[in-house]
Amino acid sequence: RVEGLFAKALFMYGTAQTFYSPTHALLFANGACFLATAGAFFATNTNKSLYDRWHPLGLHLVPGLWATLVALNHTSLLPPAVVAEIVHVSASL
């Protein structure tokens, strides 16, 4: 349940970041990741026979690639104070 909640939140953040893609190439890449992830989600939830084949690719591999693209190439949509707190908490772990 928690994993699904975080996966959906990451999907929404990636979708929001897609609208702020700094280049056309990143817009294309982010858009492709959006379509692949959304397509895999709907396909595997409406046709369970597709689950074993498409779930790992469309709901694990592609979102990981998408998150990496966003992390490396976008500025944060979160307020700077929130980002600073996340970095502070992460450093203390």
pTM for this predicted structure: 0.83
Mean pLDDT of the chain: 95
Whether the per-residue pLDDT at 83 is higher than 90: the answer is no
Q: What's the pLDDT band for 24 if we cut at 50, 70, 90?
A: very high
CA distances from 16 to 29, 30, 55 (A): 14, 10, 23
For the chain, give the DSSP string: -HHHHHHHHHHHHHHHHHTT-SSHHHHHHHHHHHHHHHHHHHHHHH-GGGHHHHHHIIIIIHHHHHHHHHHHH---SS-HHHHHHHHHHHHT-
- What's the distance, CA 32 to chain centroid? 12
Mean pLDDT check: name the lowest of 6-15, 27-36, 81-90.
81-90
